[in-house]
A and B are shown apart, each in its own frame.
Chain A
Amino acid sequence: MTDFILSKYNYWIYVILIMIGFYGMMAKNNLMKKLIGMTIFQWSIILFYISIGSKKGGTVPIIDPSLHPAIRAVDYINPLPHVLMLTAIVVGVATTGIALSLLILIYRKYGTVEEDEILEALKK
């Protein structure tokens, strides 16, 4: 069991992080904390993708003839998931930017970022 957990520890970290993020998004009352949860959620997926691409004993994906005369895929880390995550990081930054500007608008309007207080203000 311990081996099972330790041998794939990077995936376990991804699972734990995504759960923390999900909890933050769903259970927190403060909109800023919701946003933090959302960010953890997004970045844990990035960690997941990076884990997919990496290999034990693999090196940077630039063909190096000194490594082995024939090119073997096992020697090199798969670069594609990492490249995909460059895009996902940009997406994450954009989300955070929009979320923060919306939070500023909300704060200016209601003077708070607590969800229950805003809902109470909306009822009036």
Chain B
Amino acid sequence: MIHFPALIVVVPLMASFFIFAFGLFQRRVCFPLMLGTLAACLVFAAGSLWAVLSAGQPVHYYLGAWDPPWGIEYVVDHLNGLVLLALAVVCLLAGIYSKTMVEREVPVAKHAPFYALFVLQATGLFGMTVTGDMFNLYVLLEIASFSAYALIGMGEGAAPFAAFRYMIFGTLGACAYLLGVGYLYIITGSLNMADLRQILPPLYQSQALIVGFAFLIVGTGVKMAFFPVHTWLPDSYTLAPSSVSVLLAPTFTKVGAYVLIRILFTVFDPSFSTTLLPATQVLGWIAVAGILFSSILALAQADLKRMLCYLIVTEIGYIGIGVACGNRLGLIGATFHIVNDIFMMAGLFMAVGAIQAHFRTRNAHELTGVHRKMPVTSGVLVICGLSVIGVPPTCGFFSKWYLLLGTIQAEQWVFMGVLLLGSLLNAILFFRIFERMYFEAHHDIPPRRREPGTTFERAAVSEFAPMVVTAAFIILLGLFNERIVSGILAFAIPPGF
């Protein structure tokens, strides 16, 4: 039990090598191995969170028994414990979902590398969440990014090109982060987050510190697809194989958002990030522009998957607004939204992936009649859509509610207005889709041409089950929001608020 924070990184890291090695001889073992690893990670994540909740304080793990600040420290507290659990659940569900999808989308010879990368991706994400060391975070960020580039490169059409562009951008972001760590190291001589928090306050006027801070924020901003530097996201996530975008789209950007919160409020003092250097204010105004821009662009997309990609940028904007409020309620909203959005995006991408595989279209205008052929998938799409709009009792309503309360308490009326306007635009977006799905075809659009001889095949259980579980999580997170907020998130808010 005490080793869980380390095991959640070590086990999948080792497993990815084994999957690759065994896959060379017997490719059938890859899928069960991957599933077993991710299930073990779920146990580790749940165990770590349980340990934190029962002890009521963060769990520290010193790798190799080297005390911080010399060694690498892994920390699980209320904030990242919850994010870690959500990640582990979605990674496992994405793993189950990939079973039939991979056979459809990836050539047989590539199955072993695919699953090795899939697990490596999860390793990077878990590691970024659990680590308490700035440089270790960089290494795990790069592990996650590399797996993402390679997985996206396996996709359809121009996917290698999109992956290459993503890589140029992603490397720029990671290098900016690394430079930021370097500047902080020059003035403090430490890489440990908790140690930096102790050393930094007397240095808050230092120019090197401000430069380092700026580099860290820009670097994380690129990785979380914050508005002006989000341009890598739509192409790469749209063209990636469905099984890959189900894993990547919900998780990676949200882990980036978590890292941003960690840097702004844990490594630096909240008073520094909100008032001394009004970074959160700037982030808030950029997020406002991002929400408006991306939700309007999402409306303009006919391709469902590309539309969801713009929706991710919108959701990241909401999290940015929560951070910008700079108060307790806003931050509860932001962290709760991170968790909720992991599930919402997972559900949406799974549903769209299944529709693409079986209904053979991704065009929002050609969805007429999909509810008769695929009732469960359509239901999941509706639940997730309602959650993105923010309709109770889905979880999206409650996180937006806290975000709204945060903006009111901060008296940021523009932020509040944009939050409401963004939800309205999302409502237009989804109700247009629901109309196409459930009601008769419009006369001005010709009925979809189906290639002769193709028969409709039902979605497999391995596709249904994760979708239904995700939808159930969305409802349950909404119903038990009070418990989660008062039991976990209330303790997750960094001291200083």
Are B164 and A81 interface neighbours, CB within 8 A? no
A13 close to B (CB within 8 Å):
no
Residues of chain A within 8 A of B178, CB atoms compared: 45, 88
A87 (CB) vs chain B CBs: closest residue = B139
Q: Which of B149, B161, B163 has the most CB of A within 10 A?
A: B161
Pair B163/A42 contact, Cβ less than 8 Å: no
The distance from the CB of B140 to the nearest CB of chain A, in whole angstroms, is 11
Count, chain B residues at interface, CB 8 A: 22
**B185 proximity list for chain A (CB < 8 A):** 52, 81
CB-CB < 8 A to B186: which residues of A? 52
Which chain A residues numbered 29 to 74 have a C-beta less than 8 Å away from chain B? 31, 34, 38, 41-42, 45, 48-49, 52
Pairwise interchain contact B167-A95, C-beta atoms closer than 8 A? yes
Known: A41-B175, A48-B182. A99 touches B135 (CB 8 A): no
Given contact pairs A41-B175, A91-B139, A102 touches B182 in the complex (Cβ within 8 A): no
Contact check, B160 vs A95: say whether CB atoms are below 8 A apart.
no
B199 contacts partner chain A, Cβ-Cβ < 8 Å: no
Q: Is A25 an interface residue (CB 8 A)?
A: yes
Q: Which residue of B lies closest to A42 (CB)?
A: B175
Instruction: Answer yes or no: B464 CB below 8 A from chain A CBs.
Output: no
Residue A20 at the chain B interface, CB threshold 8 Å: no
- CB-defined contacts of A16 to chain B, threshold 8 Å: none
Q: Which B-chain residue is minimally distant from A118 (CB atoms)?
A: B161
A13 to chain B, nearest CB (A): 15
Q: Majority SS of interface residues in chain A?
A: helix
For residue B157, which residue of chain A has the nearest CB?
A: A122
CB distance from B21 to the nearest CB of A (A): 18
Q: Note all chain A residues with C-beta closer than 8 A to B175.
A: 41-42, 45
**A contact residues around B161 at 8 Å (CB):** 106, 110, 118, 122
- Cα distance A87–B72 when bound, in Å? 14
Measured CB to CB, the closest approach of chain B to A25, in angstroms, equals 6
Q: How far is the CB of A47 from chain B (nearest CB, A)?
A: 11
CB 8 Å contact bits of A87-99 with B (1 = contact, 0 = none): 1100100110011
The answer to whether A105 and B153 touch (CB under 8 A), given A42-B171, A95-B146, A118-B161, is yes
A79 to chain B, nearest CB (A): 12
Q: How far is the CB of A12 from chain B (nearest CB, A)?
A: 16
Q: Is the CB of B149 within 8 A of A102?
A: yes
**From A22, which residue of chain B is reached at the shortest CB distance?**
B172
* B160 close to A109 (CB less than 8 A): yes
Q: Check if B182 sits within 8 Å of A94, measured CB to CB.
A: no
Bound-complex Cα distance A118 to B163 (A)? 14
Closest CB of chain A to B74's CB: distance in Å? 17
Quick one: which of B146, B160, B168, B179 contacts A94, CB cutoff 8 A? Answer: B146
Bound CA–CA A81/B150 (angstroms): 29
Q: Are A99 and B179 in contact, CB atoms less than 8 angstroms apart?
A: no
A42 partner residues in chain B, CB cutoff 8 A: 171, 175
Binding site for B on A (CB under 8 A): 25, 31, 34, 38, 41-42, 45, 48-49, 52, 81, 84, 87-88, 91, 94-95, 98-99, 101-103, 105-106, 109-110, 118, 122
CB-defined A-B contacts under 8 Å, sample of 15: A25-B172, A31-B164, A45-B175, A45-B182, A81-B182, A87-B139, A95-B142, A95-B171, A98-B146, A98-B149, A98-B167, A102-B164, A106-B161, A110-B161, A122-B161
